[in-house]
Amino acid sequence: MSVIIIISITSIISGITTGVIVTNSYKNSTGLTYNEILNDNYLNEFLEVYSSIIDNYYEDVDKEEMLDNAMDAMLEYLGDNYTTHLDSGETAELEKKLSGKYRGIGIAILQTEIVTVYKNTPAETAGLQVGDIIKSVNGKEFTIESGSQDIADLITNSKNDTIQICVLRGEEELSFEVKVETINTVDAEYKMLENNIGYIKMTIFSKTLSEQVTNALNDMEKEGMQKLIIDLRDNTGGYLESAEETANIFLKKGELIYSLENKDATVKYYDETDGYKNYPIVVLINENSASASEILAAALKDSYGATLVGAKSFGKGKVQQTYNLSDGSMAKYTSAKWLRPNGECIDGIGITPDYNVIKSVTQDANGNIINNEDNQLLKAIEVISAL
């Protein structure tokens, strides 16, 4: 059992599906006891009807499907957009997305072309390069029509610890033996900008994000970083523990990160670590920055003094309790609100940046993009340069 904050808005559900998941340590109530359940007249009536249907209905009944529908109806009754029932496939996909790990070799591919070779991965060790065109994997040939997913599935599902990849590099055909390992997803991309400004983009609050952020900051600090831009745009959430651990990297011990408010009490969560940072920080947010990313943005704004640039965030301030079922599915329902350090609940409101900048794209008369300059990032650089 755990607690989750999930975005559930139809227009962007395909992009915002993670929210915030936390563990039992954040739950104050243990639920009904068995004696209370046994003495619950309403539940006993439900069980009597269930038993009667199983015994007497004139056709065979799929008990699993009937109970799934009963659960859906129970959750739907609550009338809450964030309360729902995830089937086993949706549950597995969510947990996989947030694990921060995957089985692979450390490349990103578009159709059959390698577009990224990640650092310190088997692909880099083996000698694969950006621009290589994958011709075959373990003897299975691929064409541009095959698509990247077929290649990824073959690599991920390989039962062997190594695979043979044949690539086309220019006009030369090369073959590589590459290890298949469990490796971390890259959820924190970073680089140094001019004038000793560091830049880090956090894409999701996975289990490994805070570790990745720590490593990124160490690298950039060694290169002389004096100021930092944190990009949370289009980051739709993840584990609350990850957001809290990431905030701990920056805040001083004793600073408030967020609060959880349920029907019985409000519990405050403070930084309890000794480490902190003291350089200027600008945080980039937009309309798809949601849940865990809003928690971090609010903590850095209210308790660190960071400056926010971009567009108003999504506004997801409710917490959901989750319950994993034996069939692999998951039930989730709203159980609390989270509050930013200044005491505000941003649910349905969002976080307004200090500098509101709408991302602009220049198009020609035919609608073709002719200038896609990142004016939000440019504004962030302008703001942090003056700090």
DSSP assignment of 57-118 equals -SS---HHHHHHHHHHHHHHHT--TT-EEE-HHHHHHHHHHHSSEEEE-SEEEETTEEEEE-
Q: Which one from 148, 212, 289, 291 is the annotated catalytic residue? A: 291
**291: annotated active-site residue:** yes
Domains of the chain, first to last: 1-100+186-387 (3.90.226.10), 101-184 (2.30.42.10)
Q: What is the largest CA-CA distance in the chain?
A: 77
Distance CA 12, CA 5 (A): 15
Is 361 exposed, middle or buried (CB count within 10 Å of its CB: 0-12, 13-18, 19+)?
Answer: exposed
The residues, any chain, with a CB within 8 Å of residue 323's CB and separated by 6 or more, are 1, 330, 331, 332
**259: annotated active-site residue:** no
**316: annotated active-site residue:** yes
Q: What is the pLDDT of residues 22-64, one digit of tens each?
A: 544 444 445 667 788 788 888 889 899 999 999 999 999 999 8
Regions in the chain scoring below 50 on pLDDT: 1-18, 23-29
| pLDDT for residue 364 | 64
Q: Could you count the other beta carbons within 10 Å of the beta carbon of residue 45?
A: 10
Of 360, 376, 316, 364, whose CA–CA distance to 81 is shortest?
316
Of 304, 95, 100, 106, whose CA–CA distance to 210 is shortest?
100
Q: Which one from 212, 303, 313, 320 is the annotated catalytic residue? A: 320
* C-alpha neighbours within 13 Å on the C-beta side of residue 129: 9
| pLDDT for residue 9 | 29
Q: Which one from 207, 316, 318, 332 is the annotated catalytic residue? A: 316
Distance CA 43, CA 182 (A): 45
- Residue 94 CA from chain centroid, whole number: 9
Tokens of 5: 């904050």
| pLDDT for residue 39 | 85
